[in-house]
Amino acid sequence: MIVLKFGGSSVQNSEWIDKALDITAAQLNKAPVLVSSAMGKTTDLILEMMKLAEIGDMNNCLPLMDELKNKHMQTAYAFLSGEVLERAEVRLNELLSQFISLLKGLSLLKECSPRSKDALLSFGERLSTSLISYRAEERGMDVEFLDARTFMISDENFTSAALLLELSEKKIKEIVKPVAGKLIVTQGFISSTESGVTTTLGRGGSDYSASIIGAALNAEEVQIWTDVNGIMTSDPRKVTGVRSISSITYNEAGELAYFGAKVVHPATIQPAVRKNIPVLVKNTRDPAHAGTCIEAKLSGIGLKAITSKKDITLINISSSKMLNAYGFLSKIFNIFEKHQTSVDLISTSEVSVSITIENTDSLEAIKEEMSVFANVCVEKNSSIISLVGQDLWKDSHFTSRVFSVLQDTPVRMISLGSSDINLSLVVPMEKQDETVQKLHDEFLKEA
């Protein structure tokens, strides 16, 4: 079996749904499970309606309701006909009627609890997968439509639910596995409590759904279909000469995501990777492209990608009391913990510590507390540049090449990742894109 997950941009209209089904149809011999997000922009539309309902503004909700209905009905009319269209109309109208009734009720109460938000958000995926299922049937495929809420079982942490993994795996084997061989169509992102109350899995939820299903079924692979050719060597919107990375480890993908790359969040694919199931990131617009394969095992040493994160604040802490002293660092980190401020990078010397943070809400309080025992200097408007790859240090010339390229760049901090797959530099934010381009030209530019 294989699992294919299609994001919102890959099922944004009838044309793209057909492309997703073309990709799936070419792999019917592998017993595919198709996991889909809501149609592009649908979730944003529902969120907008929620905000209006919360203040009792149904007048401004009505045109948005019409937009939601028209979007899905027009898609149905574009690629369905006859008896299949009739059944699709009944199903879509039923879902839309439930959605509107719930929204009107919330508008009367002028409230939208996390539980209510999850109930409303689930309609996006339920509508899109209904359309996909009917279209697959119209195209002559042997299709099985499954409601993910019957086998993705979660806790009651609404809007960001945690799956009950053992129970979900048991349900997947009971409900999904018996219909293997048909094209199975189901939803990403949504789940339910043990008592049947709808929940959602939060950011990256559809990728996580696909990964959990793949792991439970011991799938051959999990395919994440997006609108880019896999994971790139850098951000193509800012850097010229970028190319796709053919393969990357889970840990490398984790470093890239933490420091700015947004294609796939590693935590969402961990269940598949833990079972040594390869995760392919591919492009619906260019299905012939190999994309990127994310695996648990080593995928070759050397630099894979360069990423960046802006709006970073650099804090330099210095004190002669640090010299040969115990507990100095713990004192610093206790202050950050007290103010619930996470640290990105740290670099130490005999008498100083450099730290970077993103969240500056408690910066003044942190600075005030540390000033009692150290000199504190704050530099705002900084960026982190991260060079990510396996065993970078096996190349004895790597660091010298980095600093040769950046000899005219004011590097404010250097941090070596403990896992040997990350070298991070801090530069002024206005130098961010220029610095990434220089490094990419030196190490990764397409030949």
Q: 327 Cβ partners below 8 Å, 6+ apart?
A: none
The residue-averaged pLDDT of 260-271 equals 82
- The domain ranges of the chain are 2-227, 303-443
pLDDT at 126 over 80: yes
Question: What are the Cα distances from residue 337, in Å, to 340, 343, 376?
Answer: 5, 10, 17
pLDDT at 393 over 90: no
The fraction of the chain above a pLDDT of 70, given in percent, is: 98
CATH number for the domain formed by residue range(s) 303-443: 3.30.2130.10
What is the residue-averaged pLDDT of the chain? 94
User: In the sheet where 143-145 sits, what is the strand order?
Assistant: 143-145, 183-187, 32-36, 2-6, 221-226, 279-283, 292-295, 247-249
Q: What's the number of CA atoms in the CB half-sphere (13 Å) around residue 297?
A: 4
pLDDT of residue 54: 95
pLDDT at 447 over 60: no
Q: Which two tokens stand for residue 196?
A: 């049947």
Q: What are the tens digits of pLDDT across the range 13-22?
A: 999 999 999 9
> Which ranges constitute the DSSP H helices of 183-327?
205-216, 250-258, 266-274
Report d(CA 235, CA 359) in Å as an integer.
23
Q: What string of DSSP letters covers 86-123?
A: HHHHHHHHHHHHHHHHHHHHHHHHT---HHHHHHHHHH
pLDDT at 203 over 70: yes
For residue 156, give the 3-state DSSP assignment. coil
Comparing 170 with 322, which gets the higher pLDDT? 170
Q: Which two tokens stand for residue 234?
A: 């850098």
Q: 278 Cβ partners below 8 Å, 6+ apart?
A: 221, 222, 272, 293, 294, 295
pLDDT at 246 over 90: yes
The CATH class of 2-227 is alpha beta
99 close to 123: Cβ distance less than 8 angstroms: yes
Report d(CA 371, CA 335) in Å as an integer.
11
pLDDT of residue 400: 92
Q: Which two tokens stand for residue 353?
A: 């510590």
pLDDT band at 102 (very low <50, low <70, confident <90, very high): very high
Phi, psi of 238 (to 5 degrees): -120, -20
Query: pTM of this prediction?
Result: 0.90
Report d(CA 186, CA 53) in Å as an integer.
28
Q: What are the tens digits of pLDDT across the range 31-44?
A: 999 999 999 999 99
Q: What are the tens digits of pLDDT across the range 49-71?
A: 999 999 999 999 999 999 999 99
pLDDT at 48 over 80: yes
pLDDT at 325 over 90: no
Report d(CA 413, CA 424) in Å as an integer.
8
pLDDT at 256 over 60: yes
Q: Which of 366, 359, 313 is nearest to 336 (CA)?
A: 366
pLDDT band at 255 (very low <50, low <70, confident <90, very high): confident
Report d(CA 410, CA 317) in Å as an integer.
19
pLDDT at 239 over 80: yes
pLDDT at 320 over 70: yes
Candidate from 256-270, 292-306, 411-425 with smallest mean pLDDT: 256-270
The one-character DSSP state at 222 is E
